[in-house]
A and B are shown apart, each in its own frame.
Chain A
Amino acid sequence: MSLKRLLKEKRLIEKELSGYSESIELLEPVAFENFLKWRAVLKGPVNTPYHKHSFKLLIELPSEYPLVPPAITFEPYSMPHCNVEFSTGKICLNILEHEHWSPVWNLMYVMVALYQLLQEPVVDSPLNIDLANILRAGDTSAYHGLINYYLQEDTATH
């Protein structure tokens, strides 16, 4: 783990985050003195059922970072998405897998990739089978309906 690298990433994020106000609401270390735990909030992209909702992410940087990818999950029970396991928030995204990860990427890059995932769910590697099946069948209204249902449940219980 390189402290210099983390400091540089943090400075870069502070400088560039305002340019991403459409997509990334928040990206910062959880505590001032601990750079290994981060939190983030993604905004729901327009023209998706996630629009007008925001989604919390938990980020842990393993000690070998950036040699190995960061461990990122959505907050459990908050993200209805083809490639997210609803109960755990686990994400299926190939750049977050060790063998596909490259040390040249950084947290900002990952956030942008996750935002894209919200725009374009990948039906071939589903972690939420129900949603993937509906999407595969091309039933857009059922798809939107189910996501809305999940999202309202979520707001209701909080």
Chain B
Amino acid sequence: MANDEDYQYSSSDDDFPEQQYYEPLEHRDITNNILDDYEYLNYDTDSLESFNSDVDIVDGMAVSHVTNPNKKRSIEGAMVNLKYECFTTQDIFNNMLEKVDRLQPMFSIPREDIILLLQKYGWDEDRLLEDWTNKMDGLLIEAGIHINNEQKELPKSQRGISNRDFFTCPICCEDQIKETYSLECGHEYCISCYRHYIEDRLNKGNIITCMSCSLALKNTDIDELMNGPSSEKLMHSSIKSFVQKHNENYRWCPFTDCKCIVHIQDTTEFVEYIRLHYSPYVLCNESHRFCFSCSFEMHSPADCEITSSWIKKAKKESDNLNWVLSHTKECPKCSVNIEKNGGCNHMICSSCKYEFCWICNSDWKPHGSSFYQCTMYNNDELKTQTVIEDVSKTLKRYTFFYRMFNEHEVSAKLDWQLGQTVGNKIKSLQEKMGVSWIEGQFLTESLKILNEGRTALKWSFAVVFYSDSSHNLTKIFVDNQALLANSVEDLSALLQIKSPETIMEKKVEFYNKAGYVENRTYALMECGRELISKGIVKITN
């Protein structure tokens, strides 16, 4: 896209030419370019089914082959060409079963036994193969598959359930037991004790053995005892511990309840990229973007170091400081309680219709003009300076930045909730306006851009907190923050529109504002990277 040059960033200049790189865009006609960019929204029809649940479809795996300069840019601050795969434990387990099938002809022992061997070797096929060729029989005894000499002296027994008349179980000491279980070793216990024992160990991920000796319970034994596919649970926990053991190359998606695991085969390039303050962002199959290096959500313009220091500090300070971080606020005019139900900070009192800013509590009118006039981001250089310096000497400084960070986090969450209604909006566009699903995607796309912008804005406060406030580049960064904040608020307000007719009327406005947010997000991220690269950010805890 034509605007690309404006954002190309060379770090060779020590003198920072502000206008060249971060010049405000509002006077530019970007409409055409942005409309061009949306041409790539040519989806396969099979991705149609998921639009209700998957807000983030554009980045979903189904369409990941689509390349778009705009898209690539929006995750700038990330490593380029990072190769990774996303799995679930089920996928990994299926891979393991394929391994078993590959090994079976070589080993010529039952599949269940190979699974036990692989479990013993932490699913490391190569190491197992090496030991297998060296000491087959020994290995089978070690893994508890064959009985050893000691066990041979025990009364021989059939593997499986037995029906008995007056058996006394050595565990619970109940007599008159009818059903028991034992392996070839002859250690026999009542079914109920065995079940409790297995149940207790299914989520540990280790091989479950006889309670008295090292003979292993196979998956078939477990399922027979438990009357169901319980061994699957054991396999999943075994895979989990596999992933934990290989945490260099595997990461759980950090988002709540997400079961995705991202795998990166080769992490050798990380060092160089991290030196340049790029983060290894990955996208799981549920469209959660996170940093592979620090397991946090996408945190640009902050790098991993700033992110972890900031989080540590927030944890440490949270007890000392009493923030009012609620979703409701009193109207500054009439004191009616107002609940915030979108990310937009432009509040309109339901009672007296007073329009005010959620963040600074003052009149919205000056905020509405082309520059974001909230005192928190006042673009006037002098004022910015004063705010930053005034608070720098006290804990207030941290409180201030944390509050800003938090406001945007709350807003991002509310925007996300807003996103749940986007699917419905698209539906009503289809029903009432006859708009095709693909045409309606500009809403989904706008929401995604809004979210990325919001997240970048949020983390930018961590960057400013650690930055040298006297440096010119910090001021430029704060200016860029203000521009992004302004554009984010505009887009957020637009997304609150409910009427399908109005939404379609404003379609071009959606494109414009979303495109603008995307540009501003990118600019802020690049400016942040420059700030960090030049050592203007100093971590002090």
Q: Interface residues, chain A, CB within 8 Å of chain B? A: 2, 4-5, 7-8, 64, 66-68, 99, 102-104
Can you list 6 residue pairs at the A/B interface with Cβ under 8 Å? A2-B174, A4-B174, A67-B196, A67-B197, A103-B211, A104-B211
Let me know if A4 and B173 touch, CB within 8 A: yes
Please judge, given known A-B contacts A67-B200, A68-B200, A103-B193, whether A5 and B172 are in contact too, CB under 8 Å: yes
Cα of A104 to Cα of B211 in the assembled complex, Å: 6
Query: Cβ of B173 and Cβ of A99 under 8 Å apart?
Result: no
Interface size on B, residues (CB 8 A): 15
Which B residues are CB-close (under 8 A) to A2?
Answer: 171-174
Q: Are A104 and B170 in contact (CB under 8 A)?
A: yes
With A2-B173, A2-B174, A102-B211 known, 16 other A-B pairs at CB within 8 A are: A2-B171, A2-B172, A4-B172, A4-B174, A5-B171, A5-B173, A66-B171, A67-B200, A68-B200, A99-B206, A102-B212, A103-B171, A103-B193, A104-B170, A104-B187, A104-B211
B403 an interface residue at 8 Å Cβ cutoff?
no
Which residues from B are CB-within-8-Å of A8?
173
Residues in A with CB closer than 8 Å to B172 are: 2, 4-5
B329 within 8 A of A: no
Question: Closest residue of chain B to A9, judged by CB?
Answer: B173
B187 / chain A contacts, CB cutoff of 8 Å: 104
Residues on the B chain within 8 Å of A104, using CB: 170-171, 187, 211-212
Contact yes or no, B197 A103, CB < 8 A: yes
For residue B204, CB closer than 8 A to chain A, the reply is: yes
Would you give the shortest CB distance from A102 to chain B, in whole angstroms? Answer: 5
Interfacial residues of chain B within 166-205, with CB under 8 A of chain A in the complex: 170-174, 187, 193, 196-197, 200-201, 204
| Residues in chain A near residue B173, CB distance under 8 A | 2, 4-5, 7-8
A5 to B, closest residue via Cβ:
B173
Per the bound structure, the CA–CA distance linking A104 and B206 in Å amounts to 19
Interface members, chain B 217-246 (any A CB < 8 Å): none
A102 to B206, CA, bound (A): 14
Q: Which residues of A contact B204 (CB under 8 A)?
A: 99
CB distance from A61 to the nearest CB of B (A): 14
- Give me the interface of B with A, judged by CB distance under 8 Å: 170-174, 187, 193, 196-197, 200-201, 204, 206, 211-212
- Which residue of chain B is the closest to A103 with respect to CB atoms? B171
Question: Quick one: closest A residue to B192, CB to CB?
Answer: A2
Contacts of A99 in B (CB 8 A): 201, 204, 206
Bound-state Cα–Cα, A64 to B200, Å: 10
| Nearest CB of chain A from residue B168's CB, rounded to whole Å | 9
Which 9 residue pairs of A and B lie closest in terms of their CB atoms, listed nearest first?
A: A2-B172, A4-B173, A5-B173, A8-B173, A103-B171, A104-B211, A102-B211, A104-B212, A67-B196
CA distance A5 to B171 in the complex (A): 7
B201 contact set on A, CB distance < 8 A: 99
Q: Name which residue of chain B comes closest to A1, CB basis.
A: B172
Q: How far is the CA of A18 from the CA of B169 in the complex (A)?
A: 26
Chain A nearest CB, measured from B119 CB (Å): 15
Measured CB to CB, the closest approach of chain B to A136, in angstroms, equals 28
Cα–Cα distance between A64 and B197 once the two chains are bound (Å): 10
> Which residue of chain B has its CB nearest to the CB of A8?
B173
A19 to B204 CA separation, bound complex (whole angstroms) = 38
Closest A residue, CB atoms, query B187: A104
CA distance A73 to B419 in the complex (A): 54
B170 to chain A: closest residue by CB: A104
List, in ascending order, chain B residues with CB within 8 A of A64's CB: 200
Q: In the bound complex, how far is the Cα of B196 from the Cα of A64, in angstroms?
A: 10
* Bound complex: CA A131 to CA B172 (Å): 40
Bound-state Cα–Cα, A64 to B211, Å: 16
Contacts of A66 in B (CB 8 A): 171
CA distance A74 to B200 in the complex (A): 27
Q: Which residues of A contact B193 (CB under 8 A)?
A: 67, 103
A110 to nearest B CB, angstroms? 15
Per the bound structure, the CA–CA distance linking A102 and B171 in Å amounts to 10
Please, which residues of chain A bring their CB within 8 A of the CB of B206?
A: 99
- Residues of chain B with a CB closer than 8 A to A68's CB: 200
Residues on A with beta carbons closer than 8 Å to the beta carbon of B197: 67, 103
User: Which A residues lie within 8 Å of B196 (CB)?
Assistant: 67
Give the complex CA separation of A8 and B206 in angstroms.
Answer: 31
Smallest CB gap from A7: residue in B: B173
Name which of A2, A7, A68 has the most chain B CB atoms within 10 A of its CB: A2
User: In the assembly, what is the distance between CA of A28 and CA of B196, in Å?
Assistant: 27
Q: What is the chain B residue whose CB lies nearest that of A66?
A: B171
Name the distance in Å between B69's Cβ and chain A's nearest Cβ: 53
Q: What's the Cα separation between A56 and B63 when bound, in Å?
A: 68
Enumerate chain A residues within 8 angstroms of B170, measured Cβ to Cβ: 104
The CA of A66 and the CA of B170, in the complex, are separated in Å by: 11
- Give CA–CA (A138, B197) in the complex, Å: 42
Could you tell me the distance in whole angstroms from the C-beta of B535 to the nearest C-beta in chain A? 40
Which of chain B's residues have a CB closer than 8 A to the CB of A7? Answer: 173
Chain A CB within 10 Å — which of B173, B187, B206 has the most? B173
User: By CB atoms of chain B within 10 A, which of A2, A64, A99, A104 has the most?
Assistant: A104
* Closest-CB distance, B192 to chain A (whole angstroms): 10
Bound CA span A99–B241, Å: 14
Task: Pick the most buried of A2, A4, A67, A103: most chain B CB atoms within 10 A of its CB.
Answer: A103
CA distance A125 to B107 in the complex (A): 38
Q: How far is the CA of A67 from the CA of B57 in the complex (A)?
A: 48
With A and B bound together, what is the CA distance between A86 and B171 in angstroms? 33
B212 — which chain A residues lie within 8 A by C-beta? 102, 104
B171, B197, B206, B212, most chain A CB atoms within 10 A? B171
Taken together as a complex, chains A and B put the C-alpha atoms of A66 and B173 apart, in Å, by 11
Whole-angstrom distance from the CB of B113 to the nearest CB of chain A? 23
- Please report the C-alpha to C-alpha distance between residue A67 and residue B197 in the assembled complex, in whole angstroms: 6
